Amino acid sequence: MRCVAWWVLLVAAALVGARGNRTLSALASVSETWYDDRFALVPVEFGGGGGDGEGAVGLRGELPCQTYSANSRSCEELNGSGSFNTTCVISSSSSLDGDLCVYGDGSVEIRSHVKIICPVRGCYITVNVSGSIRIGEHVEVISGSVSLYAANVSLDRHSTINTTALAGEPPPQTSGTPHSLEGAGGGHGGRGASCKVSNDTNWGGDVYAWSTLDWPWSYGSMGGSMSADQFGGYGGGRVMLRTTDFLNVDGQVLAEGGVGSLKGGGGSGGSIIIQAFKL
């Protein structure tokens, strides 16, 4: 166990590939103190993923989930028992067709082998509670963006938070996606790989403009295709895990780009942000 006392750990993973051969680049930094930290504010919706972020409350592109009225489903509607203001125990799987906001003063427990899935690219799953969030063994939470806020968050063995290849729209400054029909890889923190022997005139996707370099919150970009049809892998999504006390991760947290093919490059990875007092 490692104590990250009043500091923020940020991880932005960029997975860029060409024809299935992917290169992983990661950014990890320890940044501002808790008191000055923008994540201490509940994020609100700005639309899009880009911009300089200055003067903003929270992060751009984040689902607003800070009031009881913002709840999109009750505990019972998620196949659970109890309430979000006491303890909600979810014991059966759910398939969503749109964004999910959970807000309350209690705790949320997702029992073993449950799946909560929103297969729509760019879909949000946000859980913002005052107590604890426990993700049981072999649980799968799959969406374009997953944000968990609580005093304590625990991911048990073999649990998975997965936003792979479920990216929403890219930042407005750039698509990050190759424009030619050469099957190049998507861009993120750097240019994507090109399928050409020489990169002098042929490049992969251009560099993404992150919301801010030290607060990365961008989707991955799509890989290029070798025809008008889309054969490239889709970009990775986004994950934010924020706790005021303890974060335990025994499972997987994924934001990888989609695998390419013989006719298209791989997508680039998305963003993972972690904030915890104890990790």
Q: What is the pLDDT of residues 148-192, one digit of tens each?
A: 999 999 999 999 999 999 988 765 555 555 555 555 555 665 555
Q: Does the structure show a pLDDT above 50 at 116?
A: yes
Q: Return all residues near 60 (Cβ < 8 A) that are at least 6 apart.
A: 46, 47, 48, 49, 50, 51, 53, 211, 217
* pLDDT reading at 1 higher than 80: no
The predicted pLDDT at position 204 comes to 58
Residue 1 forms part of a structural domain: no
Backbone angles phi, psi at 102, to 5 degrees: -120, 120
What is the pLDDT at residue 164?
Answer: 94
- Is the pLDDT reported for residue 3 higher than 50? no
Residue at 2 is within a domain:
no
Q: Which residue has the higher pLDDT, 16 or 67?
A: 67
Q: Residue 11 has what pLDDT? A: 42
Which of 58-72, 75-89, 265-279 tops mean pLDDT?
Answer: 75-89
3-state secondary structure of 101: strand
Q: Rounded distance, CA 18 to CA 16, Å?
A: 7
Residue 27 within any structural domain of the chain: yes
pLDDT above 70 as % of the chain: 57
89 in a structural domain: yes
**Is 3 within the bounds of a domain?**
no
Kindly give the pairing relationship between strand 100-104 and strand 87-90: unpaired
Give pLDDT tens digits for 38-60.
333 333 333 333 333 333 334 54
Cα 97 from Cα 26, distance rounded (Å): 31
Total domains in the fold of the chain: 1
Who wins on pLDDT, 178 or 250?
250
CA 61 to chain CA centroid, nearest Å? 11
In a domain, 225, yes or no: yes
Range of the domain at 144: 8-275
Angle in degrees, CA 142, 219, 178, rounded to 5: 125
Does the pTM of the predicted model rise above 0.75? no
